Amino acid sequence: MKKEIRAACAGAAVLVAMAGMQDAHAQRAPWWERQKAAQAAAQADGGETATQADAARPATPQPASQAPLVRREKIEGPGYTWIEAGVARLDVDLYDAGEHGNGGYARGSVAVTDGLYVFGGYDRVSRDWNMGAQQLEVAIDQAEIGLGASLSLSPRADFISELSLLRLGARLDYRDGDYPQDGFSGRDHLYAGKLMLGIRARPVRNLELWAKAGYLRVDDNLLVDHSMVGNVGLQYRFTPEWGLVGEAEFYEDMRFYRLGVRASF
């Protein structure tokens, strides 16, 4: 787990480096862009005298063949209004036993202001064991709702912080065909708070990356303890609105993997 957390931090460091990339045609205006605009204004004032002198000279038309034809595409920063759904997998390592479950997830995010957004999601995975007449099914679900804040580092990268509340639930069903009276079913849940810090970047038009690290604090219980958290993911946009998303989230004893489709607005 410590290696995975370090990997998430290393990913965040790589994305911080991406934050230094310049894009004169980006559609966002952070501190760096304002400084460049101020420098451009100062140069314009310094060259005013030369411009007035050149104005007296007759203008020489530029041949059409020599006209500049350079055209750059505009690249926006990361987006914060979207919905997403797909398949999920959970790997659990508890008490020297490793198991996994498969299922699905859905989540979304809405930008409230330029620097604030709300987000939420729901994951559910399950696993069945068939032992002749005996059957056991375990299902684990996770619901999350939170508030995030973004700070522009460059036209293509943001520093983000997220605070969320989680509800972790589990359901167990046991059935015995030979002894139906021995069957039982149970359900329980607990709450947790999660704080995440990280970087979201969009280095090219159709690719978005993120890396986050944080801490999960869980209600007192006998099974799940407090945990460090790491999260890395990417989105490949095959159109401006639709993209394919892959993500991995690491806890001390659990790992969530998600693969889905996102619609951005």
Q: Which residue has the higher pLDDT, 223 or 125?
A: 125
pLDDT at 184: 83
Q: What is the mean pLDDT of residues 143-164?
A: 96
- Give 18's pLDDT tier (boundaries 50, 70, 90): very low
17 φ/ψ angles, rounded to the nearest 5 degrees: -65, -35
Q: How far apart are CA 160 and CA 12, in angstroms?
A: 11
Mean pLDDT of 42-69: 52
**Would you place residue 34 in the very low, low, confident or very high pLDDT band (cuts 50, 70, 90)?**
low
Residue 225 lies in a domain: yes
What are φ and ψ of residue 222, in 5° steps?
A: -95, -10
Q: What pLDDT does residue 70 have? A: 40
Residue 171 lies in a domain: no
Q: Identify the domain containing residue 100 by its residue range.
A: 2-23+76-123+146-160+194-264
Cβ atoms of residues 189 and 167 within 8 Å: yes
Q: What percent of the chain has pLDDT over 70?
A: 69
pTM exceeds 0.75: no
**How many domains does the chain fold into?**
1
Q: What is the pLDDT of residue 133?
A: 81
Candidate from 71-75, 151-155, 214-218 with smallest mean pLDDT: 71-75
Q: Give the up-direction half-sphere exposure of residue 252: CA atoms within 13 A in the CB hemisphere.
A: 13
Task: Confirm whether 31 is domain-assigned.
Answer: no
How sure is the predictor about 112, in pLDDT bands with cuts at 50, 70 and 90?
A: very high
DSSP structure class, residue 223: S
In a domain, 58, yes or no: no
- Any domain includes 9: yes
Other beta carbons less than 10 A from residue 261's beta carbon: 14
Task: Identify the CATH number of the domain in which residue 155 sits.
Answer: 2.40.160
Q: Does 258 map to a domain?
A: yes
